[in-house]
Amino acid sequence: MPSPQGLITTVKKEVPDTLTILHATVDANSKATTPAIRACYRLTAPIGAGCDETTVITDVIEEGATMPAFFKRTGDVISVESTDNVNDIKVYTLQVTHNTAFELANIVFNTVTIDLRVCVITDLDPPTAPVSPEYLIFATSPLALDLSSPGFV
């Protein structure tokens, strides 16, 4: 079973966070449990060719549901592209299906969690300072008002 993985992120990120899903691996102790497996890893003549230990991630869904549309999967990488601060906020447990060359059936693990939180504003770009306009305010001659002093915040 792959090690548990988690990602804590927020919605509305300018650059979405990603997580690379770990693959299931063969337990070294299992290589000596059955005659067929022992033949793959035999160190004496005839030397075993080794068993195919590759895995391919064939499916990722939210446990008990479908994959939310704002989770984008490219190969083993999941990116979180949510923009909804109301409906998408929760902890998601992902069900990952591994297709293996060494098992007859696919194996499924729910070792990936994504904790999606409310958007956090980290900075704001201030607007440019306004150009000081001139207004006629109950005066017979124009009166200049400096809107940039003591400073525009």
Q: Which domains does the chain have, with CATH numbers?
A: 5-24+53-117 (2.60.40.10)
- Assess contact for 80 and 68: CB atoms under 8 A: no
What is the rounded CA–CA span in Å between residue 3 and residue 24?
A: 9
What is the mean pLDDT of the segment spanning 20-41?
75
Cross-strand pairs, 5:
112
Secondary structure of 11-74 as H, E, C letters: CCCCCCCEEECCCCCCCHHHHHCCHHHHHHCCCCCCCCCCCCCCEEEEEEEECCCCCCCCEEEE
Q: pLDDT value at position 113?
A: 95
Tens of pLDDT, residue by residue over 31-78, are 666 666 667 766 666 665 667 778 888 889 998 888 999 999 999 999
The DSSP output letter for 121 is -
Q: pLDDT value at position 28?
A: 73
What is the mean pLDDT of the segment spanning 1-26?
90
What is the mean pLDDT of the segment spanning 100-116?
85
- Assess contact for 111 and 2: CB atoms under 8 A: yes
The DSSP output letter for 85 is T
The mean of the pLDDT values for the chain is 81
